[in-house]
Amino acid sequence: MIIAGSHAIVTGGSSGIGRATVELLASAGARVSVIALDDADMERLAAEPPRGAHPVHLVAADVSRREQVEAAVAACVSSHGPCSILVTSAGVVMPGYFEALPVEEFERQMLVNYLGTLYPIKAVVGPMIEARRGAIVCISSAAGLLGVFGYSAYGPTKYAVRGLCEVLRSELRPHGVAVSCVFPSDVDTPQLAGERPHQPRELKAVAGAIKPIPPARVAAAIAEGIRTGKPLIYPEVKTRVLARMAGTMPGFTRSYLDRVVTRSRRRHRA
């Protein structure tokens, strides 16, 4: 897929990975639309729009509300023409112990992370099929590759995104539409900073000394995936290795994670 001149819609494009992707696509010559919440991040994006050959179109919407997504996509298409690139970057996370997290938190994360991915795809896929061209990129997570302690609400939503991408890749490929799934680990975003105070000590032990990568690195991997139609996008080598180990040596990865959790609890008791 050629980025220059294409209309790219990015959900959650006002901060973090989404904002970095918006900046990169705009600089590459795309006509970019952003769908995000009407909040301080959106205000900052409006005040400091990324540089590019075309103005960035901003639409405020909650991706967990289907009617808002449909209206937002229609407004983007009215401004920049048919969508040929979709990046679903909107997402939320709240870690915690399963028994302590309220059911409403599980519902919130599934609404935003999974249905907030599904709704935009449904809104753009028909015209993509008719045009026989398009690229859809969804953000999963390293937590969508294996079960991570403390992510009982978050991890299943990212597994769901991963599963959706697997099915859509097969269904849409004959129509000339490429579907990619991105698996970042920790990324240096406001969302990561916001979740850290809530992380159980065992989750912090699992994360260890992993240094978060910059959002621009994920955005660069996304852009490359769009250009090549790569179905699986790993922004860093360690995530690619993790995916391979989780697929070929699941027993080893589970045993390793269990040992890390056990050591963390022993140190706490000591």
Q: State the pLDDT at residue 270.
A: 64
Q: Which tokens go with 160?
A: 């769901």
How many separate helices (H) and strands (E) can be counted in the chain?
A: 11, 7
Q: State the pLDDT at residue 246.
A: 81
Q: Which tokens go with 219?
A: 């955005």
Single out the catalytic residue among 15, 64, 158, 264.
158
- Per-residue pLDDT, averaged over 96-123, amounts to 98
Say if residue 257's pLDDT is above 90.
Answer: no
Instruction: Note if 140 is an active site residue.
Output: yes
pLDDT grade, residue 21 (50/70/90)? very high
Say if residue 43's pLDDT is above 80.
Answer: yes
Comparing 265 with 213, which gets the higher pLDDT? 213
pLDDT digits (tens, 9 = 90+) for 201-251: 999 888 876 789 999 999 999 999 999 999 999 999 888 888 888 888 788
Starting at the earlier edge strand, list the strands of the sheet with 57-60. Answer: 57-60, 31-36, 7-11, 85-88, 134-139, 177-182, 232-233
Q: State the pLDDT at residue 93.
A: 97
Single out the catalytic residue among 64, 140, 152, 185.
140
Q: State the pLDDT at residue 80.
A: 96
pLDDT digits (tens, 9 = 90+) for 72-87: 999 999 999 999 999 9
Single out the catalytic residue among 154, 180, 234, 264.
154
- Per-residue pLDDT, averaged over 92-103, amounts to 97
- Residue 7 and residue 83 in contact, taking contact as beta carbons nearer than 8 Å: yes
- Per-residue pLDDT, averaged over 152-158, amounts to 98
The Cα–Cα gap between 213 and 150 comes to: 21
Question: CA torsion angle for 104, 115, 73, 7 (degrees, to 10)?
Answer: 130
CATH superfamily, region 7-200+211-248: NAD(P)-binding Rossmann-like Domain (3.40.50.720)
